[in-house]
Amino acid sequence: MTSPEPVPLALDRQDARRLAIRAQLLTAARPDDVLDIVRHLTFVQLNPTAAIAPSADLVLWSRLGSAYDPDDLTDAVARQRVVDLRGELRVAEDVALFRAEMDAWPGADPSQDWQRGNAVWVADNETFRLDLLEALRADGPLAATDLPDTCVRPWRSSGWLNHQNVTVMLGFLVQRGEVAVSGWEGRTKLWDLASRVYPDQPYPSLDEAWRLRDERRLQSLGIARATGAATPGDPLGVGKAGVPATIDGVRGTWRIEPGLLDEPFEPRAALLSPFDRLLADRKRMVELFEFDYALEMFRPAAKRRWGYYALPVLWGDRLIGKLDATADRAAGLLRIHALHEDEQFVPEVRDVVSAEIDDLARWLGLRIHHDS
Mean pLDDT of the chain: 94
Q: What is the dihedral of CA 22, 23, 24, 25, to 10 degrees?
A: 50
pLDDT score, position 113:
84
Q: How far apart are CA 17 and CA 222, in angstroms?
A: 9
Is pLDDT of 2 > 70?
no
Judge whether 111 lies within some domain. yes
Q: What would the pLDDT profile of 207-252 be if each residue is shown by its tens digit?
A: 999 999 999 999 999 999 999 887 778 899 999 999 999 999 999 9
Judge whether 161 lies within some domain. yes
Judge whether 26 lies within some domain. no
CATH number of domain containing 112? 1.10.10.10
Mean pLDDT of 11-34: 96
Judge whether 189 lies within some domain. yes
Judge whether 76 lies within some domain. no
Judge whether 241 lies within some domain. no
pLDDT score, position 48:
86
Share above pLDDT 90 across residues of the chain, in percent, rounded to a whole number: 85
Judge whether 109 lies within some domain. yes
pLDDT score, position 158:
67
Report whether the peptide linkage leading into residue 141 is cis, meaning its omega lies within 30 degrees of zero: yes
Bridge partners (DSSP) of residue 10 are 246
Mean pLDDT of 101-116: 84
Task: Decide if 39 contacts 237 (C-beta within 8 A).
Answer: no
pLDDT score, position 1:
52
pLDDT score, position 136:
98
pLDDT score, position 6:
85
> In the chain, what's the furthest Cα-to-Cα distance?
67
Is pLDDT of 110 > 70?
no
Q: How far apart are CA 11 and CA 223, in angstroms?
A: 11
Q: How far apart are CA 142 and CA 137, in angstroms?
A: 10
Judge whether 168 lies within some domain. yes
Q: How many domains does the chain have?
A: 1
Q: What would the pLDDT profile of 176-188 be if each residue is shown by its tens digit?
A: 999 999 998 888 9
Q: How confident is the model at residue 133 (pLDDT cuts 50, 70, 90)?
A: very high
Domain span at residue 113? 94-196
Q: How far apart are CA 98 and CA 194, in angstroms?
A: 13
Q: How far apart are CA 231 and CA 238, in angstroms?
A: 13
Mean pLDDT of 306-328: 98
Spatial CA neighbour of 255 closest among 244, 269, 239 = 244
